[in-house]
Amino acid sequence: MSPADIRDVIIEILEDIAPDEDLSSLKDDVSFREQMELDSMDFLDIVMELRKRHRVQIPEEEYGELASMESTVTYLTPKMADI
């Protein structure tokens, strides 16, 4: 998957988790928590959806890598390269 494809996947997941959020103005370099009303359970849902939809395993100690769109795409690019 390309970085653009991964970004699209993350947008789809965010739309499912937070359907009332306006994601059209989402900034890639600002943390999700600063831009959206996500709690820790929502964040965990992102991790679970990545596992369910794409079989991507993310160790708990690496959850911080998913703070913003930019860091998430950078982190997931090598993990999802063969998908």
Instruction: Residue 43: give its domain's CATH number.
Output: 1.10.1200.10
36 near 72, Cβ under 8 Å?
Answer: no
For residue 24, being part of any structural domain is answered with no
pLDDT at 83: 85
DSSP H or E segment with residue 28: none
Give the predicted TM-score (pTM) of the model.
Answer: 0.92
Domain count, the chain: 1
Report the Cα–Cα distance between both ends of the chain, in Å, rounded: 6
Looking at the DSSP assignment, which residues form a beta bridge with residue 68?
31
For residue 43, being part of any structural domain is answered with yes
Instruction: Note the pLDDT tens digit of each residue in 30-55.
Output: 999 999 988 889 999 999 999 999 99
For residue 36, being part of any structural domain is answered with yes
DSSP H or E segment with residue 64: none
Full residue range of the structural domain in which residue 37 is found = 3-19+29-79
Residues contacting residue 72 through CB under 8 Å, at least 6 positions apart: 6, 10, 65, 66
